Chain A
């Protein structure tokens, strides 16, 4: 059983990696060919109402940058050197025609750079939908909730105006059900990794999760189900590694080799904030009642604490400590993209919270196209050793 399962697992991971890093967005193009006239709507990190897009008959597509697959030639012209790398590679992908399969792009309000990118997008692609999605910072359902519902209603109208179908009760129900299920499976993936990290290396879990950026929820759920079944069937030996949470990598994504480097350096990543879209809201969207209000209110009540979401003074970092405790982590690696304002501005407060909680931590920076990790490997290696040998763990 284990030999064929191991081969099937390797094949699945290979397929997921191909999907995750395909800068031609072939899966999206194929989906559009199978659904003539249907829209594909991109969104940059960290969150977008995927249920809403799907209820309109469109494909939500996560655009998380070009990583090291894209040489930046035109993208640099739009951004100063002190700006992170993600917008450069997204612009490069757009100008090279790789995002032509998308009929629109959503830019959630997470930082000034993303706001600026939404403006640049409007100028570069005037004929495509380009929408800056304001996320609420007031959590009173009658204030923030009403505002957010109106934002979502406006998005439906924008999509319909572009040729998407107007959602029906049946399409709402189907889309919400499919995305709730996908959320459950993503959570199951992370839960298994927390419990048995040797079974679910982060470098695998990451590509399996990232493949969901270009797949409809049902297809991604099938991939997740297959992966979960296979990793449970393949024997893998646990290592004497330090259990760590990685924080700060929620927008510009860490290179896959960086994740492999951290694991090889002796770390089990048992918690992270990569690819948050399917797990940003930590609860099901209810099927009953007004779907727009349901999405808005679920977001208000269950969006995870995040740099882009208002947090009560003095509590910044508490969620990270709670995540680390839940995951049984022995330390925190702050891994922020260079020039990522939200991550780097929160970091001192999060580090202070870790300090108060007695959680060892260290920090480093990366860029989505970084290719050399020797320095990080040494840092992570000594950090893992310090946890194992000197922290009393």
Chain B
């Protein structure tokens, strides 16, 4: 089959993730370009548009009209140049399968919430469970904690893993947990022990979510917090403590899972539409 170039744009609450992919429709799928841009209070649509047109495509040497399908996910449903939009969970499921073909469950931990779901070998979502409204299970929460502690997000994982005596964080409420953290700082608790305690508290919630969704076997952590090695390690420890056989893993491109999945679904849809003779182009008035 003819190789296709497709794009995936995942607009999240704290970052925009973009990928360019090439697929041949016979199982060969290649990630040609990637971009993660933190929003830092900028307009996400503007950031996505600029990153796509001015950075990702020129870097890959690809013209916009060479891209057969631009698929959005997350909050990308207002991007004008999209061809189609996929719901976040659908996109993360497909992206997870690309990154880890054996994965049969995904936990997507984003800036505002976390969601666990099981998938089949086609990336069809089977069962899902999501955190409640409380922000304690979110990346934003961890970002706030990092700010209180004066560390960068990138440092969190390594610091947490250095901890020898994690301090238990007694609350699952973001507001109260932040109070806990302030108290810990006043009590002179080491930063790494605080972070490990926070990671343990969050990891417990995610593992419970996974078990609620009926997860078994390989699990891929996706979303922004997948890059937090301390959190992933804490999830593995928690699963072990609970006697679960979950094999929890992350991937260097886990943060891009939504964008990758969207691009791959876009390629699939493009081929389906082509078979039906449907061309999605702006029709001249």
**A interface residue numbers (CB < 8 A to B):** 1-2, 5, 196, 232-241, 264-266, 378, 381-382, 384-385, 388-390
B89→A240 contact, CB < 8 A = no
Cα–Cα distance between A378 and B88 once the two chains are bound (Å):
9
Q: Smallest distance from the beta carbon of B83 to chain A beta carbons, Å?
A: 5
Total residue contacts A-B, CB cutoff 8 A: 67
Of the listed stretches B34-42, B140-148, B208-216, B276-284, name the one at the interface; the rest are far from the partner chain: B276-284
Q: In the complex, what residues of A have CB within 8 A of residue B273's CB?
A: 240
> Are B87 and A235 in touch, CB under 8 angstroms?
no
B226: min CB distance to chain A, Å: 21
Let me know if B90 is at the binding interface, CB within 8 A: yes
CA distance A237 to B266 in the complex (A): 16
Interface 0/1 of B52-83, CB less than 8 Å to A: 00000000000000000100000001100011
CB atoms of B265 and A389 under 8 A apart: yes
Contact B69 A385 (CB under 8 A): no
Contact A240 B280 (CB under 8 A): yes
Please report the C-alpha to C-alpha distance between residue A265 and residue B268 in the assembled complex, in whole angstroms: 19
B8 at the A interface (CB under 8 A): no
B280 close to A238 (CB less than 8 A): yes
* A235-B282 in contact (CB<8A): yes
Name A237's closest neighbour in chain B (CB-CB).
B282
The 30 listed contacts between A and B (C-beta, < 8 Å) are A2-B285, A5-B285, A232-B285, A234-B285, A235-B282, A235-B284, A235-B285, A236-B283, A237-B280, A238-B282, A238-B283, A239-B84, A239-B280, A240-B83, A240-B266, A240-B269, A240-B273, A240-B280, A264-B78, A266-B84, A266-B85, A266-B86, A378-B87, A382-B90, A385-B86, A385-B87, A388-B269, A389-B90, A389-B124, A390-B124
Q: How far is the CB of B126 from chain A (nearest CB, A)?
A: 12
Starting from the known contacts A385-B87, A389-B268, 16 additional A-B residue pairs (CB-CB under 8 Å) come to A235-B284, A237-B282, A238-B283, A239-B82, A239-B84, A239-B85, A239-B280, A240-B83, A241-B84, A264-B77, A265-B77, A265-B87, A266-B86, A382-B125, A385-B86, A390-B124
CB distance from B143 to the nearest CB of A (A): 21
For B, the interface residue count at a CB cutoff of 8 angstroms equals 25
A237:B281 contact, CB within 8 angstroms: yes
Least CB distance from A100 to B in Å reads: 40
Q: Is the CB of A1 within 8 A of B280?
A: no
Give Cα distance in the complex from A390 to B122, angstroms.
Answer: 10
B280 partner residues in chain A, CB cutoff 8 A: 237-240
Q: Are A239 and B87 in contact (CB under 8 A)?
A: no
The smallest beta-carbon distance between A145 and chain B, in angstroms, is 46
Contact of A385 with B282 in the complex, beta carbons under 8 Å: no
Cα A87 to Cα B125 with chains together (Å)? 41
CA distance A271 to B88 in the complex (A): 26
The reply to whether B84 and A382 contact each other, CB–CB distance below 8 Å, is: no
Q: Which residues of the other chain, A, contact B83 by a CB distance below 8 angstroms? A: 239-240
Cα-based distance from A175 to B35 in the complex (angstroms): 62
Q: Please give me the residue from chain B that is nearest to A238 by CB atom.
A: B280
Distance between A119 CB and nearest chain B CB, rounded to angstroms? 41
- Least CB separation from B123: chain A residue: A389
Closest A residue, CB atoms, query B88: A381
Q: Which of B82, B125, B282 contacts A236 (CB 8 A)?
A: B282
Q: Which residues of A are found within 8 Å of B283, using beta-carbon distances?
A: 196, 235-238
A385, B269: Cβ atoms closer than 8 Å: no
The answer to whether A1 and B87 touch (CB under 8 A), given A240-B269, A240-B280, is no
Residues of B within 8 A of A389 (CB): 90, 124, 265, 268-269
A4 CB to nearest chain B CB (Å)? 12
Across the interface, which residues of A come within 8 angstroms of B78, CB to CB?
264
